[in-house]
Amino acid sequence: MRYKVDSMSLRDGVLMLEGWCIPSKTDKIEYSVVDKSGTPMKCTAVARDRVDVMQQFGADRMCGFTVAAPFERDRDAWLVMKDGSDVRKVRVNNVIIEKRNSIKAKRWEKLVALVHFETLTVSWDFIKENGLRAFWKKAIHKIQKIDEDYDYAEWQFKTVLSDEEIEAQREAWKKLELEKYPLISIVVPAYNTPEKYMGMLLDSFEAQTYPNFEAIIADGSEPGNTSVAETVKKYAARDPERFKLLLLGGNLGISGNTNAGLKAASGDYIALCDHDDELPPWALFEVVKAIAANPKAQFIYTDEDKIDFDGRALFEPHFKSDLNMEMLTSVNYICHLSVIRRDLLEKTGGFREEFDGAQDHDFFFRCLENATEGKEDPAEDKELSEGSLKKLAEGRYTSETVIHIPVICYHWRYHKGSTASDPKAKLYAFEAGSRAVKAHYDRMGIPYKDVEKGVTFGYYHTTFAKPDAASPLVSIIIPNKDHIDDLDKCIRSIDRLSEYRNIEFVIVENNSTESDTFDYYEKIMKHEGLDPEIAVKVVYWEREFNYSAINNFGVGHASGDYLLFLNNDVELIAPESITQMVNYASRKSTGIVGARLMYGDDTIQHAGVIVGLGGIAGAAFVGLHEKENSYMHRMMCVQDLSAVTAACLMMRKEVFEAVGGFREELAVAFNDIDLCMKVRALGKLVIYDPYVTFHHYESKSRGLEDTPEKVRRFNNEIAVFAHNWGEILEHGDPYYNPNLTLRKANFALRDLTKEKPGEPYKLELDVEKQLSTVLREKQRRGLN
């Protein structure tokens, strides 16, 4: 007999034991719980699907177990597993449970779980495809994540509403400031749904703390399959006003089944729900609370996680961004739970069967286009509320009609055959999704070449046609002080690789002292080894160093309608990078486009900026290897963000001038983040494009503030930024989620022992303490 008890928990007087056991003498293990005298205790035992154990050991996939028993603290009990004459006992008491649930124990379990045959097989495949260096980086980060990142099971346990809080919601909804409490129609397209899953779903509806709903179950099951109808009838018999069965007489397809349910719905708002998932009790309450707080709300979506085969474990939370149309073209990040106001549904129409497999992706695009009236640019909206205008001025605005609720309000069932457990189960869905993105572009009048497979199935990469003779001039502005080897590599990489040719270089000379630098300027002005069609200008800044003023000065000498700000230590990797940037920057709604920058070892130096990360702002996914998976693959999604770095940043000159350029009060730090925030306050989007790729070489050894004077200047610039953009620091970046940490760049859960959800990062402005930290960092890096 082989066995493992994965988890022990004790809550509300119930002992819960979960794990797996493989018999060697019989076909089935007998489970029981006994006290210290050997007397059997009352318990229930349920078999669980453990496909992971099946794959590793060749066992029956239902070898998992959940055993529950009433239990009192300060007593001993034993879990008994009997395989014929073979018996194993596992001791249980509250001390053992607390020890098993400690962070240390969980970390050790995770480490052990990494070491098995399947891991070795996957690792070898990764090495063959990406090389040993990439594998080494990935392995290090896996181990670091075990040691550092907060466990979702523990996070969820500590944040879930108590029974008392859930009960309080059953009265709290009556106090919301609403003229009318909306009826929410939950539309569920069903097809041959097992009774178990349908029962779990309907139970979760019954448990809702907001009672004003109707559940429309549109049953398209095959003739003779009565599991859905019989299950729904039981609930309708005791609550006919809220549970309604719609018999379709056969399968109309996912779109047809859903449309039938939408047609039958009478609610003010319509919620979409799959037939084998679950809602937590507070889901509809959170929706109605959001409606009360946002009177113009037309489309509402929430965060979600996954729930296992038998509804016991929650995992893989998806904490989402606020409205993010560019990310929606990369992936259907909205998913569940989505709620649509009736007038928006009537305006949009229902699901379209030609997009089956990605019918919700297509539907969301059309809903959001109508909810925003096709205007991604809030500056075009002349009817913004006072509150939205305030958010716009603070750089925090995304939408007042499309509302994101940063709370887990949906549990997506994970089981064999579901797209939650294996996206390849519905490969056809990804081709349909590509067509949904293209259809969105066509309606919006956005030019594109193709929508291809992105980082994995279900993710999309938009490509654009190569530039022609009519392409706009791009002025590439590069400040430089000596460092001519870096500068030459930067210029020649663009000259050699870039498919975009209508460019000019504007080199802003900043008080260089080496004669070789000026000799080099003469050579490139003569186009030695460079395309003679590309203009090169060298202009001279003769005042003290001020990054903002230097770039503003460079713009004054730029002839192009598009400005590309570059550091002198970057090197172009992807030939289509400037093409990509121009296509995004050319949209009226776009203010700035940024890039994915990598260190020389192909680890991430910059993948967009999160405002508030580390106190003021920080780059996302720093140190991750480009071949590693990031949180929900966001490193490889084109998306709207609050900021990007000026080490590689493009914008139209008219937008630059409209916001007054870089703020010269910020001479060294945060001037690029401030520029992005000013653009956001203008009502324009800041777009991160991971397919715009450059190496950024010297950043690992630059930028350390290693004297008291530099630290004081840095703190002064922190104060300037915080004075101008304090609201986003207090309330949070709308493109980040308040449940994710501000202490690290990897989108990990907040460590609840150090930071509460939504709590701003506490800045430490002590000069001596900061200086000591910097000097330790220099020593660690081996810098002088």
Residues 58 and 51: their CA atoms lie apart, in Å, by 9
pTM of structure? 0.81
User: Average pLDDT, stretch 61-65?
Assistant: 88
Most confident of 107-116, 397-406, 695-704: 397-406
The predicted model gives 222-242 an average pLDDT of: 95
Counting residues of the chain whose pLDDT is more than 70, the rounded percentage is 86
Q: How far, in Å, CA of 374 to CA of 136, rounded?
A: 46
pLDDT in tens, 378-410: 666 668 999 999 999 999 999 999 999 999 999
- Is the CB of residue 405 less than 8 Å from the CB of residue 297? no
Report d(CA 778, CA 783) in Å as an integer: 5
Cα 710 → chain centroid = 35
In 426-582 the beta strands, taken as DSSP E runs, fall at 450-453, 460-463, 474-480, 503-510, 535-541, 562-566, 570-572
Give one DSSP letter per residue of 290-325, joined into a string: HHHH-TT--EEEEEEEEE-TTS--EEEEEPPPSS-H
What is the predicted pLDDT for the residue at 477? 98
Q: Which amino acid, 365?
A: F
Query: CA 53, CA 69: separation in Å to the nearest integer?
Result: 25
Question: Of 240-244, 370-374, 657-661, which range is least confident?
Answer: 370-374
pLDDT digit string, tens, across residues 245-269: 999 999 999 999 999 999 999 999 9
382 vs 392: CA distance, rounded Å:
13
Once rounded to an integer, what is the mean pLDDT over residues 232-239? 97
- Beta strand residue intervals within 168-242, DSSP E: 184-190, 213-219
For residue 43, CA distances in Å to 35, 66, 542, 715 come to 12, 10, 82, 61
Tokens (6 digits) for 450: 């193709």
Residue 428 pLDDT: 80
Interatomic CA distance for residues 750 and 323, integer angstroms? 22
Per-residue confidence (pLDDT) for residue 706, from 0 to 100? 52
Those residues with Cβ within 8 angstroms of residue 473's Cβ, 6 or more apart along the chain or in another chain: 502, 503, 504, 559, 560, 561, 562
**Beta-strand (E) ranges in 2-115?**
2-11, 14-22, 30-35, 44-48, 64-70, 77-83, 86-92
Residue with tokens 């809602």: 279
| Cβ-count burial 468-492 (b if 16+ within 10 Å, e if not) | eeebeebbbbbbbbbbbebbebbbe
Give pLDDT tens digits for 416-467.
545 544 545 457 888 999 999 999 999 999 999 999 999 988 999 999 999 9
> In the 8-state DSSP scheme, what is residue 424?
G
pLDDT band at 719 (very low <50, low <70, confident <90, very high): confident
3-state secondary structure at position 247: strand
- Residue 471 CA neighbour count, 13 Å, CB half: 21
Cα 199 from Cα 234, distance rounded (Å): 10
Beta carbons of 741 and 750 less than 8 angstroms apart: yes
Tabulate helix, strand, coil % of the chain (nearest 5). Answer: 40, 25, 40
Residue-wise pLDDT for 2-38, tens only, equals 998 988 887 657 788 989 999 999 999 999 999 989 9
pLDDT at 122: 52
What percent of the chain is predicted at pLDDT more than 90?
Answer: 68
φ and ψ at residue 716, rounded to 5 degrees? -65, -40
Fill in the DSSP letter of residue 533.
Answer: T
User: Could you report the per-residue pLDDT of 319-370, keeping only the tens digit for each?
Assistant: 999 999 999 999 999 999 999 999 999 999 999 999 999 999 999 999 999 9
Looking at residue 702, its pLDDT comes to: 44
Radius of gyration of the chain (CA): 29
- Contact at 8 Å (CB) between 372 and 399? yes
The yes-or-no verdict on residue 83 having pLDDT over 60 is: yes
Q: Are 394 and 366 in contact (CB under 8 A)?
A: no
pLDDT digits (tens, 9 = 90+) for 541-586: 999 999 999 999 999 999 999 999 999 999 999 999 999 999 999 9
**Residue 563 CB partners (closer than 8 Å, separation 6+):** 474, 475, 477, 555, 650, 651, 652, 653, 656
Inter-axis angle of helices 103-114 and 132-148, to 10 degrees?
160
Asked whether residue 374 carries a pLDDT value surpassing 70, the answer given is no
What does the pLDDT read at residue 699? 46
Encode pLDDT of 195-224 as tens digits. 999 999 999 999 999 999 999 999 999 998
Confidence of residue 296 (pLDDT cuts 50, 70, 90): very high
Phi, psi of 43 (to 5 degrees): -160, 165
How much is the mean pLDDT over the chain? 88
Cα dist from 761 to 63, 173, 330, 342, 719, whole Å: 45, 32, 30, 40, 15
The pLDDT score that the predictor gives to residue 103 is 47
pLDDT at site 537 = 96
pLDDT tens sequence across 644-699: 999 999 999 999 999 999 999 999 889 999 999 999 999 999 999 999 999 998 64
